[in-house]
Amino acid sequence: MHELREEELNSLRSQADIADVVGHYLSLVKKGKALSAVCPFHDDHDPSLNINTERQIYKCFVCGAGGNVFTFVRDYEKISFREAVAKVADMVGFKLSVDYAAPAIAIDPAIQRLYNVLKDSIQYTNYTLNSVQASEAKSYLKNRGIGDATIEKFAIGYNPENDELTRFLKAKGHVVEDLVKANVTRINEYGERDVFAGRITFPIHDPQGRPVGFSARTLQKDLAKYVNTAETPVYTKGKLLFNYHRARTFARQAGEMLIVEGVTDVFAFDRAGVYNVLATLGTACTKDQIRLLRQLGEKAVLCYDGDNAGQNATYKIGSLLLEAGFKLEIIPNTMGLDPDELCQKHGAEALAAFSRRRISWLDFLIEYRLKSVDLDNYSQKKEFVKVMMAEIDKVNDRFDREMLIQKISILTKLTNEQMSLLSPRKSDQNATPIQRKYGSAPSRLSKLDWAEKEILGQMLSGRSAALLFRDELGFLPQPLNNACAMTILDYYRNHNEIVLADFINTIAESEVVQLITDISNSEIYYKEYNEAALRDALTLCKTSMLDQQIERLKLESKQTDDIALRQNMAKRLEELRNEKLRLKQKTKEDLHGST
């Protein structure tokens, strides 16, 4: 097989836009002009993968992954470079002069044999579903509303009794060792037996759409309802989601993904025309599964059963997704039917309508917690409020917070003040959006904080200090202190001096008022104009800001492979260091000048 000419490869590359190719796999987020995505190459929660459409490359600022359209497809799909070239050519409709689609270097042949075993198993079981011995299975599916279209689409099948599958696969030339490795056959004292004998089979695929195993349901009452493939070289329970490879495109288009409990729920939604649906295959969500989900977008809708197990699962998985930065909605299930049963009883239309009803995560939490709480019991009520206040504390939207607090206040007949005593962050309990935005300064900043307060104190006591600050520095590193400085500067535009009591009337933000009153109450900070002390404080702020910039730049330059960018950064770093040096010398001169 000969290779593609370089010109042809480049021509294909220029026709495949990096944003289109990455966007084929990941949902892209627009940040101003820049495009980014959640990085598939490390455990990413924020979109760290930068897509540079100008230079046609991608770059992750966290794990360092980077390259062009081909390396992206290669690394994402875990295929060879040639296969990736073929895929990209396919995507843009480019006709390659060489057939690259056939893998030149096959993935590990031992692994490929397992895929082949599973492919043939799916074909055989799917075929057998139409035989006489599968009549019970077929009528079971029919009763559950699973018709021929669904059976074909999901390649649902029946694994006959009497180890027929094993015999079929051996006749097809597979070796027993591979059958056992793929977990379709097991060997016990009676010999080689089908693992899923007498069960309806639902094939499971990996994110690349390769067959890796089965979820299999029995028709007998005394056996475990569902059995899944055991861990094999191609089937890792926590790394798979049922229907992922089919739901991927739909989830990205819809801007949300529906997460359900079982495979039959996926079928039910499919009948209702809802295709962005995945099932967690009975496991609690693992890190790997969350990573896969995050590649589909940031909004997840949970739709579990209405029973206790289902609600507990909703709570568990919801908490994990929330922690991973997902936006969450819950489909409230009060009917005691799972989506599959709902579809059977009320039809596909009703299920589609059901899937559009949503409540917020916190509304779900209130209901969920209330189930196990007796509000007439004092300590239970107290614990309930405590837990809910902690949850509410995580909510960013102030309106949402107020609504929730009011809701709980009505439920518990407690006042807002009483409830706030149970809030986890007492100092922050009445936090307004501004406090949340500014936060409180960590203690390691105390020296800097001291300098900033010194500046503010002097600005409050006289106009000259404010003007020197404006000319020499212009802003303060810490946000709340800076907001305070800006308020003071603004005031001096129309006033020659500050009369605190009057000044306070003109300030809208209560945090700024609080800070100003703190400082003006303090003997340390609030004092007469002292130029030397003020210049000291200004220099300290400047140095600290330079240090921060230098640190940031050093880090960024370490993480980039771009030589031109790195050179620019080095130049800027040099400038910053010189500036810092000048600042140091100037301070020395000032000191000598004053002595």
Q: Which residues bind Zn ion (CB under 5 A)?
A: 39, 41-42, 60, 62-63, 65
- Report the C-alpha gap between 404 and 389 in whole angstroms: 9
- As measured in angstroms, the least distance from the Cβ of 49 to Zn ion is 6
CA contacts within 13 A on the Cβ side of 550: 15
Which strands form 157-159's sheet, in the order they lie side by side? 157-159, 199-205, 211-218, 226-228
- As measured in angstroms, the least distance from the Cβ of 58 to Zn ion is 10
Q: Which of 129, 151, 282, 260 is nearest to 215 (CA)?
A: 282
Question: Among residues 62 and 359, whose Cβ is nearest to Zn ion?
Answer: 62
- Report the C-alpha gap between 204 and 187 in whole angstroms: 23
Rounded to 10 degrees, the C-alpha dihedral 350/351/352/354 comes to 90
Question: Among residues 35 and 277, whose Cβ is nearest to Zn ion?
Answer: 35
Query: Residue 220: how many CB atoms within 10 A of its CB?
Result: 9
CB 124 within 8 A of CB 165: yes
- Report the C-alpha gap between 148 and 158 in whole angstroms: 14
Question: Among residues 67 and 282, whose Cβ is nearest to Zn ion?
Answer: 67
Q: Which residues contact 164 (CB under 8 A, 6 or more apart)?
A: 128, 194
Question: Among residues 48 and 201, whose Cβ is nearest to Zn ion?
Answer: 48
3-state SS class at 531: helix
Tell me the backbone φ, ψ of residue 518, rounded to 5 degrees: -60, -50
- As measured in angstroms, the least distance from the Cβ of 83 to Zn ion is 22
- As measured in angstroms, the least distance from the Cβ of 43 to Zn ion is 9
Which strands form 34-37's sheet, in the order they lie side by side? 29-31, 34-37, 49-52, 57-60, 66-67
- As measured in angstroms, the least distance from the Cβ of 130 to Zn ion is 47
Which strands form 359-360's sheet, in the order they lie side by side? 277-279, 257-260, 299-303, 327-330, 359-360
CB 40 within 8 A of CB 248: no
CA contacts within 13 A on the Cβ side of 348: 14
- As measured in angstroms, the least distance from the Cβ of 328 to Zn ion is 24
Alpha-helix runs per DSSP H in 227-284: 244-254, 263-271
- As measured in angstroms, the least distance from the Cβ of 39 to Zn ion is 3
CA contacts within 13 A on the Cβ side of 66: 17
Residue pointed to by tokens 């400038």:
575
Query: Residue 33: how many CB atoms within 10 A of its CB?
Result: 7
Question: Among residues 69 and 476, whose Cβ is nearest to Zn ion?
Answer: 69
- As measured in angstroms, the least distance from the Cβ of 99 to Zn ion is 33
Question: Among residues 62 and 352, whose Cβ is nearest to Zn ion?
Answer: 62
Question: Among residues 65 and 268, whose Cβ is nearest to Zn ion?
Answer: 65
Question: Among residues 430 and 559, whose Cβ is nearest to Zn ion?
Answer: 559
Question: Among residues 62 and 473, whose Cβ is nearest to Zn ion?
Answer: 62
- As measured in angstroms, the least distance from the Cβ of 413 to Zn ion is 50
- As measured in angstroms, the least distance from the Cβ of 560 to Zn ion is 13
Two tokens, residue 337: 């039917």
Two tokens, residue 581: 């040096």
Question: Among residues 39 and 313, whose Cβ is nearest to Zn ion?
Answer: 39
CB 507 within 8 A of CB 516: yes
Question: Among residues 104 and 565, whose Cβ is nearest to Zn ion?
Answer: 565
Residue 208: strand pairing partners: none
- As measured in angstroms, the least distance from the Cβ of 115 to Zn ion is 28
- As measured in angstroms, the least distance from the Cβ of 41 to Zn ion is 5
Query: Residue 396: how many CB atoms within 10 A of its CB?
Result: 9
CA contacts within 13 A on the Cβ side of 195: 21
Question: Among residues 262 and 297, whose Cβ is nearest to Zn ion?
Answer: 297
Rounded to 10 degrees, the C-alpha dihedral 314/318/319/322 comes to -170
- As measured in angstroms, the least distance from the Cβ of 313 to Zn ion is 30
Question: Among residues 62 and 545, whose Cβ is nearest to Zn ion?
Answer: 62
